[in-house]
Structures are given as structure tokens and as C-alpha cells.
């Protein structure tokens, strides 16, 4: 009888790469998917598989089973038949589903509902059906505002948090560590996930993309210099040397897959963070080269008064406001376990060439709007 890995979050950005990579490594996967509008879970899964068939130029192995469910529901919303099937066929689980909402104090709503209550529901199901091997996707930012090196073997260090996302992921990681019936727990802590290192592909436009998107939005309204270059009079209260812990989604999935399929790497915590962080200056230079604007400057860390901001600066700081707590400096992460386990999988650098590929893809995709329009057309 074939055994399956039960995967949550399989239609998200990381999840769709995990589906591809696990299937390509001869793993059988059961994917928990909820319906969306008129789209059934089976249809949503087939869209993911069809995408990879096109990208790869061949069909992925169909060692995959679709289970209708939702991590925010008790028992993950599984039917009695599906729950019995999981008990028989799924000895391990990869819990990857998460909300990326940053703010929300109401614990009955996201991000707490998906990230904390969803993890409670996952653990309850594991206890009920006898799953004892759990692979849990946390975040490197459970370290909160710590300034010292954040180590893989640490969690509770009295840290403060920038937002509810960090805090609820921290609390959820505490839950999985306290689940004494889980005999084999592996925790993955990725940093800021970006598009594919080779193609620039992404299905979500959070985080870094708020910065990359801004010039695209304002370009038609900017004055031009004598060489017809848009003038973007933006003072960044940075030096340009600030670290950005960016990691490409294809690398994150490749590392997680290799660790999951190799039992000798189980039972540890891994920081999926960059070998060499990207600097704020590298990001700005990539944007400047792509959009061919002038006028952006690094003004140092002296706070800029809102009353002194010009209209373009006001729009920029409003666009990126939710990410400002990470603005001046990011944490530093220990990678001992990761480097020992997968020395042959170094993190591709997010350099100017990689950032350009992400920008080119985002513009072709109209920042996700083309996909949403196609989906609405199919539903209607």
C-alpha cells in the first residue's frame, strides 16, 4: 500500500512548488484544498499540476490525491471517509498553509485563525488519526526584534514582535513543540520568500513586491528630465547597506523537499535564510536600472518628518508602511543545521539580475491582475 505525505497550503506559492518537487522525487502527496468560489478543490489542484506540465514540457507523475478541507475548521473539515483514508495512508504531514496578514488582534480571524487555530486543528487531526511525523513550516521571524544572532535551536528568548504575524507564528511553533505525541518534528523557518530565481515566477505580490511595484504605479505621473527619464524625488531614510533576507521560492522548496525525503535530517530546525543577504542599495539599483528613473537618494537613518515629504514620497511611504518595522535592519540568522544538511544546495543570491527577472515577470503578469481576470472569466 502506497503511503502519502499530507500537505496543507498546496495551492499557495511555496505549496505549488512543493507539489512539483515532491512528485518529481517520486513522493506520493495528498493535498488538502478548500473550494474557492465556484472552483472545486480538484479543479484548483489540476490547475497547479497543469501549470507545471506546461513549464516542464511533460506531465508530472499523478501520484497525488485531492482532499477537500480547510485548516481553519475542526478536523480540517475532512469528511469521515477522507479522515479514515488519511489514517490508513498518511504516516506524515507537511503543514505549510499560512496567512501572510501582518495585523489582526482578533484571534477568531486571520492571521491568528489560519496560523494559530489552523495549527491547533492540524495537531488535533494528527493525534486523532495517528500521524506521528510532522514537518512544520514556521518563519525565521519568530525571532522577533532580537538584535543578536538568532539561532536555529532557539525559540523562546523573551523577544518582542513587530506584528501579529510574527507573534502568531511564534505561538504556533510553541504549540507543535509542545505536542508530545509527535515523535518526529522537523521545523522549517524560511526568511522573506521571493519569486523563482530562474524565471522570476510568483503567484503572490507581498513584501518585496510592494517596493518593486511603486515605480510602476507612479511612472505615468512623474516629470521627466532632459533625457526623458522619470524623476522620482524620493529620499530613503537608509544608508543603502541594510540587509534584506530574501530567498527564492524554488530554493526554499528544493531544500524542504530534500530534507523531508531524507530521514536522517529529520528532528531539527532549519533556518532557510540567504547565505549573503541582499542590500537595500542592490534593490534600489535594480529598480533604477529597470525603470530608468532618477532622483532617488539614500538620506541616512535620520527620520523624515511627514510634513517635509513631497507628494511622491508620501505615496511611497504609504505603499510600504506595513513593512517599515523591517526598514532599518533585519535580524541575523544562524544556519548551522541547514549548511550541514544540504551543503550542495546553496541559496541563489538575489542580485540585480535576479531582481530584474522578478520585475519582468511581475510586469508581464500585471502584478497578478492577469491571473485574477482569467480566473473570473473561467468562473463566469
Which domains, from first to last, does the chain contain?
5-190 (3.40.50.720), 208-242+279-326 (no CATH)
Query: Comparing 378 with 177, which gets the higher pLDDT?
Result: 177
How far is residue 3 from each of residues 23, 79, 90, 159, 322, measured CA to CA in Å? 13, 19, 6, 40, 42
Could you give the angle at the alpha carbon of 103 between the alpha carbons of 100 and 109, nearest 5°?
80
Tell me the β-bridge partners of 6: 30, 93
pLDDT in tens, 294-307: 999 999 988 899 99
Q: Across residues 87-91, what is the average pLDDT?
A: 98
What CA–CA distance (Å, rounded) separates 344 from 29?
25
pLDDT of residue 1: 74
Residue 45 backbone phi and psi in degrees, to 5: -65, -40
Closest CA relative to residue 8, chosen from 128, 167, 118 = 118
Closest CA relative to residue 358, chosen from 282, 268, 266, 257 = 282
pLDDT of residue 372: 56
Residue 187 backbone phi and psi in degrees, to 5: -115, 130
pLDDT in tens, 187-219: 999 999 999 999 999 999 999 999 999 999 999
pLDDT in tens, 314-339: 999 999 999 988 987 789 999 999 99
pLDDT of residue 121: 98
pLDDT band at residue 379 using 50, 70 and 90 as cut-offs: very low
Q: Is 223 left (phi over 0), alpha (psi -120 to 50) or beta?
A: beta
Closest CA relative to residue 370, chosen from 211, 201, 248 = 201
Determine the straight-line distance between the first and last CA of the chain, rounded to whole angstroms.
Answer: 41
Q: Where are the alpha helices (DSSP H) in the chain?
A: 13-24, 41-56, 80-89, 112, 118-129, 164-178, 208-218, 249-261, 280-291, 311-319, 336-341, 352-364, 369-379
Altogether, the residues listed in the chain come to a count of 380
Residue 133 backbone phi and psi in degrees, to 5: -115, 115
Could you give the angle at the alpha carbon of 31 between the alpha carbons of 26 and 32, nearest 5°?
165
Amino acid at each position: 500500500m502506497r503511503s502519502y505525505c499530507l500537505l496543507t497550503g498546496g495551492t499557495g506559492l511555496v505549496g505549488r512548488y512543493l507539489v512539483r518537487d515532491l512528485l518529481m522525487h517520486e513522493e506520493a502527496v495528498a493535498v488538502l484544498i478548500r473550494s474557492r468560489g465556484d472552483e472545486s478543490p480538484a479543479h484548483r489542484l489540476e490547475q497547479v499540476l497543469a501549470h507545471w506540465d506546461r513549464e516542464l514540457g511533460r506531465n508530472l507523475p499523478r501520484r497525488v490525491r485531492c482532499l477537500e478541507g480547510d485548516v481553519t475548521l475542526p478536523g480540517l473539515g475532512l469528511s469521515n471517509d477522507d479522515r479514515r483514508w488519511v489514517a490508513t495512508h498518511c504516516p506524515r504531514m507537511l503543514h505549510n498553509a499560512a496567512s501572510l496578514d501582518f495585523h489582526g488582534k482578533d484571534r477568531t480571524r486571520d492571521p491568528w485563525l489560519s496560523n494559530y487555530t489552523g495549527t491547533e486543528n492540524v495537531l488535533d487531526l494528527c493525534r486523532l488519526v495517528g500521524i506521528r511525523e510532522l514537518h512544520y513550516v514556521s518563519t525565521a521571524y519568530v525571532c522577533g526584534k532580537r538584535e543578536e544572532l538568532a539561532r536555529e535551536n532557539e525559540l523562546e528568548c523573551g523577544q518582542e514582535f513587530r506584528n501579529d504575524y510574527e507573534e502568531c507564528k511564534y505561538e504556533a511553533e510553541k504549540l507543535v513543540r509542545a505536542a508530545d505525541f509527535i515523535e518526529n518534528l522537523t521545523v522549517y523557518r524560511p526568511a522573506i520568500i521571493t519569486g523563482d530565481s530562474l524565471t522570476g515566477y510568483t503567484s503572490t505580490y507581498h513584501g518585496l513586491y510592494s517596493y518593486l511595484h511603486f515605480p510602476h504605479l507612479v511612472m505615468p505621473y512623474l516629470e521627466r528630465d532632459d533625457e526623458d527619464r522619470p524623476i522620482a524625488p524620493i529620499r530613503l531614510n537608509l544608508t543603502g547597506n541594510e540587509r534584506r533576507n530574501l530567498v527564492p521560492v524554488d530554493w526554499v522548496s528544493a531544500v524542504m523537499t530534500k530534507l523531508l525525503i531524507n530521514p536522517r535530517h529529520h528532528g531539527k530546525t532549519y533556518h532557510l535564510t540567504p547565505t549573503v543577504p541582499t542590500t537595500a542599495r542592490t534593490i534600489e539599483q535594480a529598480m533604477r536600472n529597470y525603470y530608468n528613473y532618477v532622483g532617488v537618494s539614500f538620506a541616512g537613518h535620520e527620520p523624515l518628518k511627514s510634513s517635509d515629504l513631497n507628494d511622491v514620497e508620501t505615496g511611497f511611504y504609504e505603499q510600504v508602511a506595513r513593512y517599515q518595522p523591517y526598514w532599518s535592519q533585519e535580524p541575523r540568522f544562524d544556519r548551522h543545521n541547514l549548511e550541514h544538511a544540504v551543503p550542495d544546495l546553496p541559496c541563489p543570491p538575489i542580485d540585480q539580475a535576479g531582481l530584474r527577472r522578478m520585475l519582468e515577470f511581475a510586469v508581464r503578469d500585471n502584478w497578478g491582475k492577469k491571473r485574477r481576470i482569467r480566473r473570473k472569466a473561467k468562473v463566469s
